[in-house]
Amino acid sequence: MAYHEQHERRCPTCGERISATARKCFNCGEYVDDDEAGDDEEETTGHPHARLARVLGVIGALACVAVVIYVIVTGLAGSPQDAAGKQVQQFMEQKLGQKLNASSPLTLADVKDRLRRGMPIEEFDRIIAEPNRGPDHSTRVLSHVLVTGDPPQTDPTKQVRTYFLRDANLIVITESVGSEDEPREQIVSWGTEPVQTSGR
């Protein structure tokens, strides 16, 4: 057997000779081994932190679900940043090893004059995202449905979003408006609370 035959194999898709260690066929562009195809996903998305962003997104979604379930089960209701929300925040801070506010490039002064009632939430999210420079230099956000009343009830048309700015937590209430065909989410109200610097 010749030397090059020991270090080559055939692509299972097009049959052309490729390196024995190649993960992707140079000729047809197909992945040679299915279990290695996912490893190049970050390269194909063009975002070096795509996997971390997906993981943080999943953690955020699970945290939102946990807040809603906790509030409904325990009967806690009231301000958007209630005890259950604080517990989820503390849990996420423990997992990340830092305060959720620590990575934000924005302060309350940077955004407070740009908020307005009726503003589409997509517009405000663009303002928040503009200075972001990757997961270690971005504003984190938690979102969940609004829970009010006694007994607690959720309002599926309203959302609570907490933006963890460097110097404050900005709590924004949004509402879905418009038709079912063209729903829009707009800002109804907002409030702030200081960053907790010590104790839990």
pLDDT tens across 42-101, in order? 444 445 556 666 777 777 667 666 665 555 444 444 444 456 667 777 777 777 777 778
Q: What pTM, to 2 d.p., does this model score?
A: 0.56
What letter represents residue 163's amino acid?
Y
CA 90 to chain centre: 17
Quick: pLDDT tens for 115-157. Answer: 999 999 999 999 999 998 887 788 888 888 888 778 888 888 8
Among 115, 102, 87, CA closest to 172:
115
Distance, CA of 164 to CA of 166 (rounded, Å): 7
